[in-house]
């Protein structure tokens, strides 16, 4: 949005206030990112906290998205559970199949006690 401006907005206009708020938000994100990088170099434990703060500032929607995905997964599991108990039914029309591996072993290795 800032890059597409051809001229500064009129003083006191809504567009000016939106751009000022956008600039403040970008500065907050940059400050949090820089703080996280420096904090990792100084103290790794505090660096993790600083990085988490950066993530909350830069991507405030992630927490809501994670919560929504968790709720959707829980709803899907509950729908699956509510379908009833699992049922195992034997296959009636299945034909017995001979094991080819067993056939190969039996033809190659003679049984003990047999000639």
pLDDT digits (tens, 9 = 90+) for 53-102: 888 888 888 889 999 999 999 999 999 889 888 888 777 766 676 777 77
What is the distance between the alpha carbons of residues 51 and 35, in angstroms, rounded to a whole number?
A: 8
pTM of the model: 0.51
Largest separation between any pair of C-alpha atoms in the chain: 105
CB atoms within 10 A of CB 35: 17
Query: Cα 86 vs. chain centroid, distance in angstroms?
Result: 29
What is the distance between the alpha carbons of residues 35 and 25, in angstroms, rounded to a whole number?
A: 15
- 31-53 per-position pLDDT tens digit: 888 888 888 888 888 888 888 88
What string of DSSP letters covers 68-87?
Answer: HHHHHHHHHHHHHHTT----
What is the distance between the alpha carbons of residues 22 and 34, in angstroms, rounded to a whole number?
A: 18
């Amino acid at each position: 949005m800032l890059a597409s401006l051809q001229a500064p907005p009129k003083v006191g206009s809504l567009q000016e206030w939106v751009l000022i708020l956008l600039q403040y938000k970008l500065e907050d994100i940059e400050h949090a990112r820089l703080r996280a990088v420096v904090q990792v170099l100084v103290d790794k434990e505090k660096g993790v906290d600083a990085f988490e703060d950066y993530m909350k500032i830069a991507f405030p929607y992630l927490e809501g998205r994670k919560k929504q995905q968790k709720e959707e997964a829980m709803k899907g599991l509950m729908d699956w559970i509510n379908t009833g108990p699992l049922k195992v039914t034997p296959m009636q029309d299945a034909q017995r199949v001979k094991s080819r591996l067993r056939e190969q072993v039996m033809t190659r290795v003679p049984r003990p006690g047999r000639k």
